Amino acid sequence: MATAAQFTRLPHPAPTAAADRAAVLADPGFGKCFSDHMVCIDWSEDKGWHNPVIGPRGPIALDPAASVLHYAQEIFEGLKAYRTADGGIALFRPEANAARFNASARRLAMPELPEDLFIGAIRELVAADSDWFPTVEGGSLYLRPFMIATEAFLGVRPAKEYKFLVIASPAGNYFKSGAPAVSIWISDYTRAAPGGTGAAKCGGNYAASLVPTAEAFANGHDQVLFLDAAEHKWIEELGGMNLFFVFSDGTLRTPALTGTILPGITRDSLLQLAREEGLTVQEDRYSLDQWRADAASGHLVETFACGTAAVVTPVGKVADRTSEFTIGSGGPGQLTQKLRARLVAIQRGEAPDTHGWVTRL
């Protein structure tokens, strides 16, 4: 069984030229550019996790019959490494990503990865690509651990061979800057049904969200919102973010973890921070009709999206095929900004880490 200490380190024959890297790091966007290295670890029934390698990032060879290409047996994670003011590097709650990765693995009938190997792989990659941190304000190194079924076999059953990989992408803002708040589109499509894979971070959930996302973009919106599958009434989450609602009496609400939405690590962190602020926080269902009525009456004053990529992003406008409504003034609300600032300060090592959330590398 592989351990974090046993990584084979392959030299990079042609790393990116410093000037090209600097240009990327000054304006990375999101998910468009990649660092020089990647981690790869294999799994087989007889050997378990073995052959951990860190080497040059590049194409991977797959048999055309590899199960991932046919039945989408794939899971992934997303977390960020931050360059701190003292020149160090910090990860935010990587053990929570490791735990969710294994929860996704169980749901997709894939082998679990020991937490020390998950975090060890990330350590290796961040060390190899430590000169890939964006220089732009708010930048980070976005890390994408993922696992694919590699066995060549066309029958439908869990594969017997897998690969775990980690790649890194210098990242700026997820949403194009300039907009004070994002606009969201309520989809007629369903993302996840009870008993399905909604709580797992598997590629299939995102495949199902692509047509609705394209529809949101075509209608001039930034993100898609999904309602529940059974009644098409209750707010679930966005394509890649959880949602919070702020009321005029200072209470905060977010949809409960019913098994059909992703248990966001940002969501969980904000719930803890809000409770510490003395806010009343409800994890409960909230209907689209109520949201619309509360926004109109002024009972609802803010709505924000949250996730690793989006951090905390205010929602200004909501639309479906027939109607549209605005949240508050349409711009960032006070509590949204306050919670965002508290979270970001912890993530970047600027505020004391009283929760044990930060891993310094």
Query: Helix 334-347 to helix 265-276 angle, to the nearest 10 degrees?
Result: 110
Q: How far is the CB of 189 from ligand PLP (least distance, A)?
A: 14
What does the per-residue mask of binding to ligand PLP show for 52-81, with x meaning CB under 6 A?
--------------------------x---
- Determine the distance from the C-alpha atom of residue 261 to the mean position of all C-alpha atoms in its chain, rounded to a whole number: 13
Q: Which is nearer to ligand COI, 229 or 265 (CB)?
A: 265
**Closest CB to ligand COI among 147 and 309?**
309
Q: Which partner from the list ligand COI, ligand PLP, none does 264 bind, CB cut-off 5 to 8 Å by kind?
A: ligand PLP
Least distance in angstroms from the C-beta of 102 to ligand PLP: 14
Examine residue 212 and tell whether it contacts ligand PLP (CB under 6 A).
no
For residue 265, the partner it binds in ligand COI, ligand PLP, none, with Cβ less than 5 to 8 A by kind, is: ligand PLP
Cβ-based nearer residue to ligand COI, 78 or 198:
78
**CA distance from start to end of the chain:** 24
Q: How far is the CB of 134 from ligand PLP (least distance, A)?
A: 18
Chain contacts with ligand COI (rule: CB under 6 A): 78, 240, 307-309
Q: In angstroms, give the least distance from the CB of 14 to ligand COI.
A: 29
CB 232 within 8 A of CB 241: no
Q: Using CB under 6 A, which of the segments 59-67, 181-189, 234-242, 287-295 binds ligand PLP?
A: 234-242
Subset of 213-232 contacting ligand PLP (CB under 6 A): none
- Contact residues for 147 (Cβ-Cβ < 8 A; gap 6+): 74, 75, 76, 101, 105, 110, 113, 162, 163, 164, 165
* Closest residue to ligand COI using C-beta atoms: 78
Q: Which is nearer to ligand PLP, 307 or 333 (CB)?
A: 307
- Nearest approach in angstroms of CB 22 to ligand COI is 25
Tally of CB atoms within 10 A around 131: 13
Selected from 55, 212, 307, 333, the binder of ligand PLP by CB under 6 A is 307
Q: Which residues from 76-135 bind ligand PLP, rule CB under 6 A?
A: 78
Supply the Cα-derived Rg of the chain in whole angstroms: 21
Write b or e for each residue in 157-169: b if 16 or more Cβ atoms lie within 10 A of its Cβ, otherwise e.
Answer: eebebbbbbbbbb
CA distances from 211 to 30, 110, 189, 260 (A): 20, 27, 9, 19
**Do 184 and 224 touch, CB atoms closer than 8 A?**
yes
Q: How far is the CB of 194 from ligand PLP (least distance, A)?
A: 16
Residues of span 241-300 touching ligand PLP by CB under 6 A: 241-242, 262, 264-267
Rounded distance between C-alpha atoms, residue 216 and residue 68, angstroms: 28
Nearer to ligand PLP, 265 or 327 (CB): 265
Would you say 177 and 57 are in contact if contact means Cβ atoms under 8 Å apart? no
Nearer to ligand PLP, 255 or 316 (CB): 255
d(CA 48, CA 2): 8
Distances (CA, A) of 297 to 238, 287, 323: 24, 15, 16
Please report, for residues 105, 128, 299, 309, the alpha-carbon distance to residue 53 in angstroms, rounded to integers and kept in the order given.
Answer: 21, 12, 54, 27
Q: Which residues bind ligand PLP (CB under 6 A)?
A: 78, 237, 240-242, 262, 264-267, 307-308
